Amino acid sequence: MSQVSIIIPTLNEATNLGRTLRQLTLLNPPPSEVIVVDGGSQDQTVTVAKQIFESFNQTLNGQVLLSQQPGRSLQMNYGASAATGDILCFLHADTWVPDDLITVINKTLAEPTVACGGFISLMSGSQTTRWGISLHNYLKTYYAPLLFKPHLFFRGLRLLFGDQVMFCRRIDFWDCGGFDEALPIMEDGDLCLKLVKKGRIYLVNRIVQSSDRRVAKWGSFKATGIYLYIGFLWGIGVNANYLKQFYQDIR
């Protein structure tokens, strides 16, 4: 079984990070390491991470890296450069995974034609489950590449996003140049476009659970509209730096 490094980029995630890290202590088999890369949090994110790694040092090989500046691409590349596992798994601080995550990842990438994988993201909060938006996000994995990159769709392109817990072989990740650090948004979709040159992008038929905080802030209709607007413009080649203004950070 290949060694899996889990990389978590954080910025002011003290509220969610504790639960995510505690859940990782239950993984069976465990990951080879968990790397939290913080982009300059002003809350207790770093303290939470260090406390949990210290408390569970027998079951969770963890470390905290401090990046020079915030930026998800920068942080994830920084974590990937420090990782020692054969497989890199990129996990958001507000996403929770099944306890057989490592087995699922290894089984998926045991197929040599698969270059990258991810899960079906079920978006939910303390009061509700966002069934409609979760369904749309699932369908978007397929219809977006079919609409905008049909030649790549038939070669195995599927568009995965960060809350789907993307994973790939470390060698393929670096051969493709990793995440584009110039992109403030859509770096995950961009990585799929690069990794499809190595093999298929595969959507695992399993669920991960992601926070609905953005939808809770915006409302379902506004959130859906923004997702569609950003996705369409990115699909036709609009610069991601322009699109970032419509996708503000929400904590």
Per-residue pLDDT of the chain (251 residues; tens, 9 = 90+): 899 999 999 999 999 999 999 999 999 999 999 999 999 999 999 999 999 999 998 788 899 988 878 899 999 999 999 999 999 999 999 999 999 999 999 999 999 999 999 999 999 988 899 999 999 999 999 999 999 999 999 999 999 999 999 999 999 999 999 999 999 999 999 999 999 999 999 999 999 999 988 888 888 889 889 888 888 999 999 998 888 887 877 66
The whole-model pTM stands at 0.95
Beta bridge partners of 96: 209
d(CA 161, CA 69): 22
Would you state the pLDDT for residue 44?
A: 96
Domain assignment of residue 135, yes or no: yes
Domain with residue 237: its CATH number is 3.90.550.10
- C-alpha distances out from residue 234 to 86, 120, 240, Å: 31, 22, 7
Give dist(CA 128, CA 116) in Å, integer: 30
Q: What is the DSSP letter of 31?
A: P
In a domain, 125, yes or no: yes
For residue 179, which of 166, 190, 168 has the smallest C-alpha distance?
A: 190
Would you say residue 234 lies in a domain?
Answer: yes
In a domain, 162, yes or no: yes
Give the Å distances, CA to CA, from 99 to 52, 104, 105, 168: 18, 10, 12, 19
pLDDT of residue 218: 87
- Residue 222 CA, chain-centre distance (Å), reads 23
The domain of 212 spans: 4-246
Query: Residue 54 carries which side chain, given as an amino acid letter?
Result: E
Going from the C-alpha of 27 to that of each of 21, 30, 31, 180, the distances in angstroms are 10, 5, 7, 30
pLDDT for 241? 85
3-state helix, strand, coil in the chain (%, to 5): 45, 20, 35
- Cα separations (Å) of 121 from 74, 136, 162, 220, 240? 24, 10, 10, 16, 23
CA distance 161 to 96: 15
In a domain, residue 251? The reply is no
pLDDT score for 70:
87
Cis peptide before 29 (omega within 30 of 0): yes
User: How many separate domains does the chain show?
Assistant: 1
In a domain, 231, yes or no: yes
Structure tokens that stand for 203 in this block: 């959507």
With tokens 């413009």, the residue in question is: 233
